[in-house]
Each structure stands twice: as C-alpha cells, then as structure tokens.
Amino acid sequence: MPEIPKEQWAQVIEKTGGPVDYKKIPVQQPGPDEVLVNIKYSGVCHTDLHAVNGDWPLPTKLPLVGGHEGAGVVVAKGDLVTDIEIGDHAGVKWINGTCLACDFCQQSDEPLCSKALLSGYTVDGTFQQYCIAKAAHVARIPKECALDAIAPVLCAGITVYKGLKESGVKPGQWVAIVGAGGGLGSLACQYAKAMGCRVIGIDTGDEKKKMVTELGGETFIDFATSKNLVADVQKATPDGLGPHAVILVAVNEKPFQQAAEYVRSRGTVICIGLPAGAYLKAPVFESVIKMIRIQGKSIGVFPFWYSLTKNCRLLCRQPQGQRGGDRVLRSWSYQSTFQGCWSFGTSNGLRQDACRCNCRTIRS
C-alpha cells in the first residue's frame, strides 16, 4: 500500500456563494471507529451546488470539502474497526455517520437521525484525495466492480432505486420519470426497465429524448413543447389512466403539482428532487378522490445498497480495463459549479476527465 501523504489536493468552499478553491489541505487520520478512503472517483450531485449556494434550510460546515459519491480504497482504519481491511474497496456516501442508537437508526432510517453526519455538507466530503468516514456507514464495494461506474450509484443510483422499490410499481406497470434525461433520471430509467416496468420519460430536448429512448423509455414527453402535459402523460398509457407511479427527480416546483394530476387512481408519487424554496402543492380533491399516495424519499440506506449490488444487472461488475464494448453515456450541466467526473490520484492531484463527462456516467 503506498505511503499516505501529509497533504492532499481538494476542492474547498471557503464561504457560501463564493468560489470553489483548488488547494492543498492536510490529510486527516481516522478515529477509532473510522476509515480513511483514498478516493479514486467521485460523482458530482446537484446537492453539491446547493452546498455552494447555501440555499437549503440547513447550514453547511465552512470551510467545506464537498462531495458524497466517492469510490476508492481503504488505506487506514481505526483500532475499533474489525470488519474492513486495508485495501478493501469502499464508498463514501451522503450519510457519513449516525448515532446508531435512536429509533430511526434502529429501523434502518439513518437519514432521519438527528445526529447524522452528511458528507460534503456537515463534514468534509469526497472532493479530496483522502476522505474520512465512519466505518459503519461506508459502502462495501466488490472488487470486481469498476470504481468509476460505482461512484454515481452511491447517491443517485441507490436513491432512485429506493424510490422505485418503495413506489410499489410492479413488472408490466407504467412509471413516469420526471427529469429522465438527468443524472438520477437516467439511472432510474435503467433500473425501472430492469425491474420489468414500462417507462415514460419526461424531460426536454432532442438529445435527452434520444438518450431516454436508448435507455428503455417507451415514450418521451417534452415538457417544454407539450400543450397539455397532464393529458399527454395519461394518453401515453394504453388505458389512458396514467402511470402507476411517478418518480420526481426534477429541480423545479411545477412538476410536483402536475404529478398528482396525471398519476392514476391509487397510484404513488415519489418525491426525490429538492428544488430550493419550493412547496409541494397538490390538488386536494383529485388526491382524495383518486386515493393517491404522495411520499418523500431521501437517500437509500444499506438494505437498498445490498439489494442493488446483488440484484441489479446495470451495475458494471466487470474488472476495470476489461469492459469491452459496453456503451458509456455522458451528459453535463453547463450551469453547475462542478462540471465533470473528478478523478483523483496521489501523483497528478485533482483533475477533470478530458471528455468532461458528468458525474452521472452510466453504463448499460
């Protein structure tokens, strides 16, 4: 195992709304119940932009190293850590640590723990070469999994997978994915298809339409050109009653209201996207008469991670460098502070992939 340096490169937020500085910072040593992970790849989430802008009603640590989709190798561990070894592959997720003792933790609802530590938000995250995390909360990554493919799954993938599973949608049923051409949405399309669902993708633009179709979407509805989105979504299903479930990963408010109007009776609306300052507005009459369910879903926890890594064929389980002709799809947001999938290495520091691929690099 290479020697751990005393300093490392990192992307640091010094003040809310300010620039993100690329600078050297000290490498921290893990505590008794922690591990130190040499981050090889880190995804970039829209949450990272919220952390920079400070537009969520939750204060961030400052200065802050962002990021919460880090895949890498364990290079050091505390004395109390017995179930992780040096050299193991591990992932640093949004939930960096919790109390493990409250009612929520005992029920596998760790994101609701009042003492939860949030990577890249309340504690330093994965936009650095070496990242600290509580051993109880790092994701165990099989060594046959490519780390670059796993990184975005640590947040985007596991979150939409949890949403799909808890929506109750069954094989053969229809699911509408709002924001289907984005990071979470593109993964949701693939997972829904793998689960046997029929996918309606909602987004805008020819490029996203092409991608959603390639990922298994049977219908694409462009919200920017649709004259009646509610009617168009319902007409996309053969019986005209609308989808059985809606997965909302959009970052603006209007789609959250529309979903309650076009989901079929006894359908489920899963809210995952977090538009800043938005309110959930659903028509009360339709919601009651149709007996629909509207439910918020936060980051997936360990039971969903284990299920995803075990059952989902969309995880790339081939060794690195031997992926053959598999197809890599890329997209990015020009408005994002963090553009690209950041690659870390002790020799060349922090760099951006030459192809400028987004953190949501996905493999089919």
Residue carrying structure tokens 């561990």: 77
1 in a structural domain: no
Stretch 204-228: mean pLDDT, rounded? Answer: 94
Residue 16 has pLDDT above 60, yes or no: yes
Per residue in 27-73, pLDDT tens?
Answer: 999 999 999 999 998 888 888 888 988 888 889 999 999 999 999 99
Residues 285, 326, single domain; the answer is no
Q: What residue ranges in 215-348 does DSSP mark as E strands?
A: 217-222, 245-248, 268-271, 293-296, 328-329, 342-345
Domains held by the chain: number: 2
Residue where one domain finishes, among candidates 246, 261, 296: 296
C-alpha 134/C-alpha 121 separation (Å) is: 15
CB 49 within 8 A of CB 127: no
Sign of CA dihedral 284, 288, 292, 298: positive
Q: Retrieve residue 124's tokens.
A: 């330093």
Residues 223, 256, single domain; the answer is yes
* Residue of 324, 335, 328, 316 lying closest to 355 (CA atoms): 328
Residue where one domain finishes, among candidates 296, 322, 337: 296
Stretch 278-307: mean pLDDT, rounded? Answer: 82
Residues 25, 143, single domain; the answer is yes
Residues 183, 196, single domain; the answer is yes
Residues 278, 146, single domain; the answer is no
Per residue in 62-118, pLDDT tens?
Answer: 999 999 999 999 999 999 999 999 999 999 999 999 999 999 999 888 889 999 999
2 in a structural domain: no
Domain that holds residue 178: 160-296
* pLDDT at residue 50 in the model: 87
Segment of 64-73, 138-147, 344-353 carrying the highest mean pLDDT: 64-73
Which DSSP symbol is given to 339? Answer: -
CB 219 within 8 A of CB 200: yes
104 in a structural domain: yes
175 in a structural domain: yes
Stretch 11-24: mean pLDDT, rounded? Answer: 90
Stretch 123-128: mean pLDDT, rounded? Answer: 95
73 in a structural domain: yes
Q: Retrieve residue 238's tokens.
A: 């053969």
Residues 143, 13, single domain; the answer is yes
Residues 24, 105, single domain; the answer is yes
Residue 306, amino acid? Y
Per residue in 290-304, pLDDT tens?
Answer: 999 999 987 766 565
Cross-strand partners of 64: 13
The tally of CA atoms less than 13 A away on the side-chain side of residue 48 is: 32
Residues 111, 132, single domain; the answer is yes
Cross-strand partners of 42: 70, 342
Q: What is the CATH number of the domain that holds 73?
A: 3.90.180.10
Burial category of 143 from C-beta neighbours within 10 Å (exposed 0-12, middle 13-18, buried 19 and up): exposed
Residue where one domain finishes, among candidates 296, 315, 350: 296
Residues 235, 292, single domain; the answer is yes
Residues 57, 121, single domain; the answer is yes
Q: Peptide bond preceding 63: is omega within 30 degrees of 0, i.e. cis?
A: yes
Residues 117, 184, single domain; the answer is no
Residue 314 has pLDDT above 80, yes or no: no
* pLDDT at residue 274 in the model: 84
Residues 91, 130, single domain; the answer is yes
Question: pTM of whole model > 0.75?
Answer: yes
Residue 39, amino acid? I
* pLDDT at residue 331 in the model: 30
Average pLDDT, rounded, for the chain:
82
